[in-house]
């Protein structure tokens, strides 16, 4: 009952806020300096919330994909497997959401990734969840238009190091139907090491 009450209060607050927002936009500018500041703030909020070219670029990956995994471990031959990925645009095109499934070392594996572009900080953002943990892995990065590469950096946490260590993943677009994602982890004493490659091929 408490949850339902809180939900109703939140909904009422949200509706009221949207109404006040629209009312503020409808006011004539110049009547009051404080009102002008409010109008300017509202306009900036709308600008920062609007999907742009970077979001359209992310949307190019929407669809169904067949995957080829290759995992690298020191002193061992690469472990290969296959999987599938479904990528959809969500929240009005502000993010793409990937649902990935496959297997590693003979065990089923699922992951979900939310990727967006932060208009304010001018960076791409990634939040990854999977069945190997109960916490997210986050990263931020930039897009290189010349090489068609999205380079992300973040902090990896797992049972080996819950304090976190640097990691990065680099996604390179081959063409509209193929791209490759390489993941690099920090492994002492070597340092930055490629640990996985995923080849994406658009499903027919």
User: Per-residue pLDDT tens for 95-136?
Assistant: 999 999 999 878 899 999 999 999 999 999 999 999 999 999
Distance CA 106, CA 179 (A): 25
Distance CA 18, CA 37 (A): 18
Q: Is the pLDDT of residue 13 over 80?
A: no
C-alpha distances (whole Å) from 133 to each of 11, 55, 169, 178, 201 are 32, 28, 19, 29, 27
SS3 label, residue 69? strand
Q: Phi and psi for 202 in degrees, rounded to 5? A: -60, 130
Please list the residue range(s) of the chain that carry CATH number 2.40.128.20: 54-202
User: Per-residue pLDDT tens for 68-91?
Assistant: 999 998 889 999 999 999 999 999
- The count of other CB atoms within 10 Å of the CB of residue 1 is 5
> How large a percentage of the chain has pLDDT more than 90?
67
Instruction: Give the residue carrying structure tokens 């006040």.
Output: 20
The mean pLDDT value for 25-29 works out to 54
Distance of CA 29 to the CA centre of its chain: 38
Q: Is the pLDDT of residue 21 over 70?
A: no
54-202 CATH, one of 2.40.128.20, 3.40.30.10, 2.60.120.620, 2.40.30.130: 2.40.128.20
Radius of gyration of the chain, Cα coordinates, nearest whole angstrom: 21
Q: What is the pLDDT of residue 23?
A: 53
Q: What is the pLDDT of residue 104?
A: 82
């Amino acid at each position: 009952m408490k949850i339902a009450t809180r939900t109703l209060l939140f909904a009422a607050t949200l509706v009221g806020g949207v109404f006040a927002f629209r009312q503020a936009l409808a006011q004539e500018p110049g009547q009051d300096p404080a009102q002008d500041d409010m109008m300017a703030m509202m306009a900036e909020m709308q600008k920062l919330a609007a999907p742009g070219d970077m979001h359209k670029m992310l949307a190019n990956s929407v669809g169904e994909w067949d995957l080829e995994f290759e995992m690298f471990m020191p002193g061992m031959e690469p472990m290969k497997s296959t999987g599938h990925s479904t990528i959809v645009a969500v929240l009005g095109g502000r993010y793409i959401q990937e649902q990935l499934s496959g297997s590693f070392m003979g065990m089923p594996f699922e992951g979900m990734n939310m990727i967006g572009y932060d208009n304010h900080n001018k960076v791409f953002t990634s939040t990854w969840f999977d069945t190997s943990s109960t916490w997210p892995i986050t990263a931020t990065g930039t897009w290189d238009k010349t090489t068609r590469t999205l380079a992300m950096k973040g902090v990896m946490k797992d049972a080996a190091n819950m304090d976190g260590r640097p990691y990065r993943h680099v996604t390179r677009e081959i063409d509209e139907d193929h791209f490759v994602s390489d993941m690099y982890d920090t492994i002492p004493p070597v340092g930055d090491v490629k640990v996985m490659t995923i080849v994406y091929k658009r499903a027919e």
